[in-house]
Amino acid sequence: MAVRLLEKSAPSAPVSVFAAVGAGSRGRVERLFYDPRLTRVLSVRQANVLLVAGSLRDEDHDDLRRLHDQMPPPRATVWWGSDPIFGFDDLTTIAVEDDPVAAIVAAHRALIMVERASEPDLLPNEPANPWRGEGPHGQGGKGMMGGTPYGRPMAMTNDDLRDGLALDAYTAPFGPFLPMLPPGLKLSLTLQGDVVQKAEVLRPPLAQHDDGPTRALRLRRVARLLRILGLDAHADRLQDASRASECGEEVDFAKLRRLVRWSGALAAIPPGLGVVDGRDVRSRMRRWLDELGVQRPDPADPASSEQPARLVDLLEGLEWTEAILVINSFDDKALLAMAPVEKEDGNAEKGEGEHHHHDHSSRDHHSAGHAMNHGGGGSA
């Protein structure tokens, strides 16, 4: 009886979707999840449909395959305005101008009703670092602290940037599909607990189209910051207002400004965080709030001037949530200018880093997500 009830109700439940966002697709992906038939999850491990939206770089392909293989079966992939990459079979492709919701729901239902086979793993099941039979004891370790014992290098101590205490530090890549990072941005971060000791750009963010009304775009920007601060209900209100604004419905922008200010969001952002040309994260968010309802292009961001600030310089020494706030406080054009590639993303990033990299698909937007498991945006 219970099983039959589950069989009837499961196909009608909202579909848990993880979005791997490519070039020019951030806005339309955010708008897609206005539809109540879909739920956007922050970890690919919570999804059974992977949505690939927009074009990807060749170097992103392996990250996408790793991301896919972390999704528990039964699973399916839907390509929306994106060219499928080698290895994926049973393709569901949707043109960029078409609505993919029906295809996503159909794929989900077919999986639940066992009318469609689950997609197999794309990559071989092998450790990030070969360790069996390696080293004097056959477990990958070498000497006191060297090698990769059981496939994982040991954390080495570095002096903490704040008080000089020697703490364990580890380096891992984050991106290019981490939900709280701009699409395409891939960073190499050395972390001591929650503190960024060192940051390097491995791949820049993908160019995005700031499509749709400017008012709706500002609402979405503020909503992203609210979600990072843990104010999901307030972020949802602004997302709803963004949808209404794009549909030509009347929106009370003054009420939304009061909602955000009374929430304490501005006070929760540390003063002096991410200062560029005299503006910090708090002042940039306040500017977006003040300009809600104003249908004119954004003024030029100081960060996109001839000699923009370097993103990595702004991140070092910050806690995880502070760093994510800084990154999301710039518009896409400014961030692209601030994030030139400074380190080759090659074999040096494989092994331990690759493992952490796809573990990052379960990190949520809040600071608690980092403390819990370093999960995040998916191949992140």
pLDDT in tens, 24-48: 999 999 999 999 999 999 999 999 9
Structure token pair of residue 101:
């919701």
Domain that holds residue 104: 2-112
Bridge partners (DSSP) of residue 105 are: none
Judge whether 151 lies within some domain: no
Do 68 and 216 belong together in one domain? no
Judge whether 274 lies within some domain: yes
| Domain of residue 72, CATH code | 3.40.50.12280
Judge whether 150 lies within some domain: no
CA separation for the pair 364, 350 (Å, rounded): 24
Question: What's residue 211's pLDDT?
Answer: 61
Do 184 and 283 belong together in one domain? yes
Do 229 and 291 belong together in one domain? yes
Write the CA distances from 345 to 39, 324, 363, integer angstroms: 32, 21, 22
Within 10 angstroms of residue 132's Cβ, the number of other Cβ atoms is: 10
Start-to-end CA span in the chain (Å): 40
Domain boundary among the residues 112, 142, 176 is at 112
Question: What's residue 358's pLDDT?
Answer: 38
Is the preceding omega at residue 299 within 30 degrees of 0, hence cis? Answer: no
Do 174 and 93 belong together in one domain? no
Do 220 and 322 belong together in one domain? yes
Judge whether 377 lies within some domain: yes
Question: What's residue 89's pLDDT?
Answer: 85
Helices first, then strands: H and E counts in the chain: 14, 11
CA separation for the pair 61, 176 (Å, rounded): 10
Do 328 and 185 belong together in one domain? yes
Angle between helices 214-228 and 232-246 (to 10 degrees): 170
Do 67 and 186 belong together in one domain? no
Is the preceding omega at residue 74 within 30 degrees of 0, hence cis? Answer: yes
Q: How many CA atoms lie within 13 A of 53 on its CB side?
A: 27
Q: Which amino acid is at 171?
A: T
Judge whether 292 lies within some domain: yes
Write the CA distances from 111 to 8, 75, 339, integer angstroms: 13, 7, 40
CA separation for the pair 290, 114 (Å, rounded): 51
Find out whether 256 and 241 touch, Cβ atoms under 8 Å. Answer: yes
Judge whether 143 lies within some domain: no
CA separation for the pair 91, 304 (Å, rounded): 40
Find out whether 378 and 70 touch, Cβ atoms under 8 Å. Answer: yes
Do 99 and 217 belong together in one domain? no
Do 16 and 106 belong together in one domain? yes
CA separation for the pair 296, 299 (Å, rounded): 9
Do 106 and 165 belong together in one domain? no
Of residues 328, 310, 322, the one with CA closest to residue 273: 322
CA separation for the pair 380, 377 (Å, rounded): 3
Judge whether 169 lies within some domain: yes
Do 108 and 164 belong together in one domain? no
Residue segments in the chain with a per-residue pLDDT below the cut of 50: 347-379
* Domains: count for the chain: 2
Spatial neighbors of 317 by CB under 8 A, at least 6 apart, are 161, 162, 195, 196, 197
Domain boundary among the residues 85, 112, 139 is at 112
Do 227 and 348 belong together in one domain? yes
Domain boundary among the residues 91, 112, 133 is at 112
Question: What's residue 8's pLDDT?
Answer: 66
Instruction: Print the SS3 string covering 47-88.
Output: CCEEEEECECCHHHHHHHHHHHHHCCCCCEEEEECCCCCCCC
Judge whether 340 lies within some domain: yes
